[in-house]
Structure 1
Amino acid sequence: MRIQILITFLIISINYVCAENEGRSSILADAVDEYLSTRVSRSTANYILERDGDSFQTTYEVKDFLDEFLKKKFTIPKIGIRIETFAVPTERKRVFRIFIVSSYEGLTRIFNERSLKDILLNGHFLIILPKCENHDFEKFFDFLWNLRIVNVNIICAKTNQSVSVFSFMPFTQNNCRDTKPILINQYQNGKFIKPSNFFDPLKIKDMKGCPVRVALTNSSEAVFYTSMEKNKNKICGPDIKLISTLSKALNFKLNFTFIGHSGFLFENGTSEGPFRVLLDENADLAVGYWWLKTVRMKFFSSTVSYAQQPLIFIIPPGKPVTHLERLISAFSLQSWICIGLFYLIGSLVILFVQLKSPCVQEFVFGAGVTSPMFRMFSVFIGDTLNNLPKRNFARFLLMNFIIFTLIIRTVYQGSYFRQMRTFRHHKEVASINEMIEKYFYFYSNPGMIDILLGLPAIRERVRELNNEDLPEFLKQITTNPNFKAAYANALLFTDYLNLKNSDESQHICKEVFATNLPVVIYSLTDFYLLNALDEKLITIIKAGLIDHWTRESCRQNVRKVQESIKPKVLTFDDLEGSFLVLIFGCLLGFIAFLCEKFLL
């Protein structure tokens, strides 16, 4: 009799447990379906449900949930679901991942089976547990936090009539890794108690003053030092203002873990400077006006681009204009030809008249003039004349010649004086092709040399320049016009150099090598703060603060390199008045000749 009673109680208990499990599986399937439905904006979507691949560890609760969930999917195809029991490689990382496990060990097994490189750590995660009992949720969250996973919820059936959703708030007052579970929502009577926005609590909108490790470079145009009292230096620059503004907006504390040279990062992972610190995970962010490059994205993640910078070439100045060139460049070639023709015609006339009789020579040159060619030269240089001609015709010719020469000489002196007062040099190279034709070599720092190597025309002439050799190299390229080299860097870097060395401004090739290279902040792979940083960066960009900080740190006037000032060269149009005086004087001389020949 007792045995029958025990068997009866055992059967009743088994039926009760089965009914309880079936009820929990049913309501959990409904809750998960409703949860996933709120994650999509379309009427249908596809999700991949990943479960522990160890079939021996898969409990009956997990199997019951899957049976119930799949049954619902076949009857009400609201969303699509595919179940995976092993890691399926994908070309793109999944933004939303669903794991169904029965224990903490099952969750760790899932992550051990998958490479973290294939998991979007700053994506969204949902962990499904058939039951809420006998689970240490803090242990779950602590494991995920060590992987830098923040956006995660755990959903489990509390009873056959209630489903709970748990999460954690890592940043609380005086605690920067709080992994205690927090109940954020409940599913009862066919719906969640709170709206869908409560599934994603604002975990990193306010970091409660928790530190973020930042690696800086002290050789950047966007991060530099200013001296203060008591032998102290202050870090400043556009990027410092940017990261400080972000820290205030998200309420995190800046912890500068590295301040040093800019370093480099090669495709094989060899690196120095901030990238080495970031690669060793001794920093969370790297700030220093970094360009977005493919090789860097293999190792790090980045924010949205907050600025664009063209890549330019710093080139040597043009050769200075010599003194002989200054003497000649006062007049244009056309003007010199006209003036030369005038004196040539005058010399030929003198030679022609000298072949005539003394009577004709006296009539044209005047009495007592034995060296008319030297007399013309004396008038040209402004010498005094003691012996003047007696006839009006000769006087008109001499007066006309003196006035014309005086005008030309005065105008030339003024133009030459202006030439001496101005800074003049020959044009520097204006294009990459011109530099190639003149056998220039193209230099760059190690972190930028891969960009130059991407241009086949200059690949053979690309050279790497170490940071130690940069000051001497810049001095050479600034002062030596015969230096056959060009240095590639960002335009803002050139502005910074010109600001520091205003007496030796850098000359820039007018042809830009590359335009609109995006500038970003690099971070650890899938850093949990990236989405929040992107949101704040977009707001800062729209407000125009980036441009304001850049203009404030490197004033626009430093871009105005001392250009070669070419004074106005006097052309024939400018000297037209003097030639009109010459023609008018010749006309008066001809009239005087007619009067003296025929009327007197």
Structure 2
Amino acid sequence: MTASFMVVSVLLFVFVPESFADLRLLWRSTEHASAESPDQEDLIMWASKQQGLNRCAGLILYDTQGGASAASHISEANVFPQGTMIVDAAKISAVQALHYVALGSLGGSCSSVLLLLTSVSWRAMLDASGAARTLADSWARNRRVFAVMQAATLSKQAMSDQASNNERDLLLHSVLRKSVQLVLCSYDPHNNLWRLFRSVLYRGPHRHTSALIATYHRDAGVRWTQGSELFSDRRFQDFEGYKFTIAALPYSPFIIEANGAYAGPGKYSGLEVRLIDTLASVANFTYEYKAPSDGEWGRLSPNGSWSGMIGLVDRQEADWAVSDITFSPERAGYVTFSSTFVYDASELLTPRALPLPLFLGPVKPFTLVVWVAVAAAIALSGPLLYIIVRTSPAHDHDAWFLTPAHAVMYTLQPVFNHGCHKDLSGNSSRVFALFWLLSAMIISILYSSSLTAFLILPGYTKPIMNLEQLVNSHIGWGKVNFGGVQNALLEQTKDPVLIRLREGVQWYRSLDSILKEVVAGKLATWDNRITTRLEIAVHFTDKSGQPLVTLTGFELLQERIAWPMTRLAPFKCRFDELIQRARQAGLVEKWLRHVISEQQVQAKQEQNSQLQTAGNEGGGEAGGVVVLSLDHFQGVFLVLVFGCFVGGFAFVGELVFHRYHGMGYARHRRG
């Protein structure tokens, strides 16, 4: 075709809400409006019958006299029995025309659009501000595009089985190729027939190409060269070995480094690798990995560009990205996400609760309230016994108890498991003494058992359990700098607690390095629950398998894990179908459990090997029995030291008292 040709496009767009609809594009090119291509209306009628468009309503836009005539013929032929609307596109703007196409205007559950436009109008629509994205968004919801192109003279290439340059430009237009299927018909006047080409996407060695599928003549009918239908519902069933490029970074258990010598399969293992390999086996494709140079998941810069793996996909340097990538509305404005295959959440991790100091052993068995109650009971029991004995009719027989100090010592001795050789004679005093001895025995037993338990298993301080406690604590907090959704949450938040979190955060390059700081009690952090819990189970547990950090269960962010694909990727529907089948079959959950189990078993084997090499070094346990060390007696010796201090203070006081009392007695005798 030559540059002087005028192009009139005819677009049929079928829009079915809440479902995939059929979209057909009919495009014809002629030097003069009167130079109609033979069998054009027959071809249109045949195509509509192939796909059942005659059940829908129709909208026709035109901008030439020939277009008006064609619109009239189509209307008279009753192609759209449910109604036809005709609009003169020359009287509206390109953007308005685009909205007619993209949004439809007849309503109902089935509507079609015909565009009878010159190439000037068609290009104006595609070049209009926001046109490409608007039209691509609309067509991405549909499955099929059908185009018809006619020319007065054709090149030898156009008359062959290969599409011409102009035809390929249309088939592989950056907007049109986002449609799932596109068929282009080109009229060959020398052979008096139409050639039907189909866009071929992501198949074999080709990313975007075309192929002849059939020829059409009114008398001879259709002769198929590939298949027997215009549009196949199994188009992406087989990618015929096409090699996709996948952006990836190691992030266990989703992507785990396996063998860095490979560029594709075998380089990584993990949950998402199993899902990719399953899809590759079913849909017959292969792949290679590409890592972002900045090592980030993806953050949006002020100039509107993305870093990391999201940037690779946005710039179409990768077909999609993996590695525990979270869906976000901000990212969805630049890439297209697959269906979700894992739901996760960011969990707060804090230092493990520390054991209480062993020197507090003598006082920890009871709370402060209990200590006050016991002290009050001991302090009141002696004077109360003295009063009972004093007022008892048998007080003459209990003369020893009539001294207040003796009564106090009598009630104090049972508390320390020490009896008294004195006995009471009065019934009332005996009843009091009986119940006091019983109470003292219970207090003593409870104290002894609680103290024993504390020495064997000391109590613990309360761990930090939420963000408010964290920002008000004495420790800091750190975060792995992935440049992902969690970072964006801190950057955009207006919550006072999160603002304090953002202002005080310390950035790290790896989860392992920050977890070491959490174990040391210096920092707290938060990250994806699946990854962090696996990392802790593998590398940060004690000999009994208990985590060395506190898993608070506090969730900062609910996350949907999905694959970001190139915007409006035509293979998304096929991938979504396979992902959903894997999820519904329970394979994703099974793979995740299996990967986590493998990592834990491997870590356990490594730990056992290290223990066998190092041997059992000295410690506080022998055969499972706790051996008391000097540390356990800190409280005992502290009480002893305190008692010595109090005793010394009493001794000094006694000396001073007797000295002054003796001097007063001597002056009294001299006087």
Using the size of structure 1 for normalisation, the TM-score is 0.69
CA contact (8 A) 1:170 1:176 kept: yes
Q: Which residue number corresponds to residue 129 of structure 1? A: 149
Q: Describe the SS at the equivalent of 1:125.
A: strand
Question: AA paired with 1:88?
Answer: V
Aligned match for 1:553, one of 588, 595, 617: 595
The one-letter amino acid paired with 1:496 is: L
Paired amino acid for 2:41: S
Aligned to 1:468: 509
Q: Secondary structure at the match of 2:340?
A: coil
Per mean C-alpha deviation after superposition, the further-off stretch among 438-447 and 202-211 is 438-447
Describe the superposition over 1:283-327 as per-residue Cα deviations: whole angstroms up to 9, x where unpaired: 111111211123322322221222322333333445644447665
Deviation at 1:530, TM superposition (A): 1.4
Map of 1:415 onto structure 2: 450
Question: 1:27 maps to which residue?
Answer: 42
Aligned to 1:246: 279
8 Å CA contact 1:100–1:128 kept in 2: the answer is: no
Displacement of 1:23? 4.0
Count matched residues.
521
Counterpart residue number, 2:497: 458
Query: How far is the alpha carbon of 1:466 from its aligned partner?
Result: 3.3
Alignment partner, residue 557 of structure 2: 514
Within the candidate set 217, 228, 236, 2:269 is matched to 236
Which has the higher mean CA deviation after the structures are superposed, 443-452 or 85-94?
85-94
Output the amino acid matched with 1:468: R
Q: Which amino acid aligns with 2:447?
A: Y
1:67 maps to: 69
Q: Identity of paired residues, percent?
A: 12
Distance 2:407 2:378 in 1: 13
Distance 1:91 1:505 in 2: 59
Q: Does 1:154 align with 2:184?
A: yes
Matches of 1:127 and 1:83, distance apart in 2 = 21
1:199 corresponds in structure 2 to 231
Which of 264, 274, 291 is the equivalent residue of 1:258? 291
SS class of match (2:452) = helix
- C-alpha distance in structure 2 between counterparts of 1:548 and 1:82, whole Å: 56
- Distance change in 2, residues 1:397/1:202 (3 Å): closer
- Shift in CA distance, 323/339, structure 1 to aligned 2, threshold 3 Å: same
**Structure 2: gaps of 5 or more residues:** 1-31, 104-111, 542-546, 601-671
The CA distance in 1 between the partners of 2:76 and 2:146, in whole Å, is 22
- Asked whether the 8 Å contact 2:337–2:564 carries over to 1, the reply is yes
Per the alignment, residue 38 of structure 1 pairs with 52
Match of 1:487 among 525, 539, 542: 525
User: Is contact 1:170–1:177 with CA below 8 Å preserved after alignment?
Assistant: yes
Q: Summarize deviations over 1:156-215 as a string: whole Å, max 9, x none.
A: 45689965543154566x643584523257575799799996423633210112211111
Alignment partners' CA distance in 1, 2:59 and 2:475: 57
- Contact 1:478-1:507 at 8 Å conserved across structures: no
SS at match of 1:208: coil
* Distance in 1 separating the partners of 2:74 and 2:272: 53
Q: Does residue 1:211 correspond to 2:243, yes or no? A: yes
1:456 partner amino acid: D
Corresponding residue number in structure 1 for 2:313: 278
TM-score (norm 2): 0.63
Provide the C-alpha distance between the structure 1 equivalents of 2:430 and 2:205, rounded to a whole number of angstroms.
Answer: 107
Which structure ranks higher in relative contact order (CA pairs < 8 Å, sequence separation ≥ 6)?
1
Please tell me whether the aligned partners of residues 24 and 157 of structure 1 are also in contact (alpha carbons under 8 angstroms). no
Counterpart residue number, 2:350: 315
- Aligned partner of 1:223 in structure 2 is 255
Contact 1:138 1:179 in 2 (8 A): no
Closer/same/farther in 2, CA of residues 110 and 399 from structure 1, 3 Å limit: closer
The separation in 2 between residues aligned to 1:91 and 1:436, in whole angstroms, is 51
In structure 2, the residue matched to 1:88 is 95
Amino acid at match of 1:480: G
Matches of 1:326 and 1:92, distance apart in 2: 81
Residues 186 and 494 (structure 1), Cα distance of their counterparts in 2 relative to 1, 3 Å cut: same
What RMSD, in angstroms, separates the aligned Cα atoms of the two structures? 5.0
Q: Partner letter of residue 300 of structure 1? A: V
1:214 counterpart SS class: strand
Which of 500, 520, 524 pairs up with 2:566?
Answer: 524
- 1:253 deviates by 0.3
Q: 5+ residue gaps in structure 1?
A: 1-16, 56-62, 559-600
Deviation for aligned residue 1:257: 2.1
With over 3 angstroms needed to count, the CA separation of the structure-2 counterparts of 1:68 and 1:156, relative to structure 1, is: farther
Choose 523-532 or 442-451, whichever is displaced more. Answer: 442-451
Give, in whole Å, the separation in 2 of the partners of 1:139 and 1:428.
69
Distance in 1, Cα, partners of 2:515 & 2:147: 58
Partners of 1:66 and 1:506 in 2: CA distance: 75
Could you list the per-position Cα deviations for residues 49-90 of structure 1 after superposition, in whole angstroms to 9, with x for gaps in the alignment? 8x9xxx9xxxxxxx7576324421255261556675885276
For residue 335 of structure 1, report the CA deviation from its aligned partner.
Answer: 5.3
Distance verdict in 2 for CA 1:191–1:343, change over 3 Å: farther
SS at match of 1:292: coil
Provide the C-alpha distance between the structure 2 equivalents of 1:102 and 1:357, rounded to a whole number of angstroms.
123
Query: Which residue identity lines up with residue 76 of structure 1 in the other structure?
Result: N
> Residues 185 and 487 from structure 1, CA distance in 2 versus in 1: closer, same or farther, beyond 3 angstroms?
farther
Q: 1:238: Cα distance to partner?
A: 1.6
Distance 1:305 1:510 in 2: 23
Q: Which residue does 2:658 correspond to in 1?
A: none
- Give distance in 1, aligned partners of 2:60 and 2:464: 59
Do residues 76 (structure 1) and 78 (structure 2) align?
A: yes
Amino acid at match of 2:183: N
Return the match for 1:382 from 397, 417, 425. 417
Tell me the distance in 2 between the aligned counterparts of 1:191 and 1:295.
50
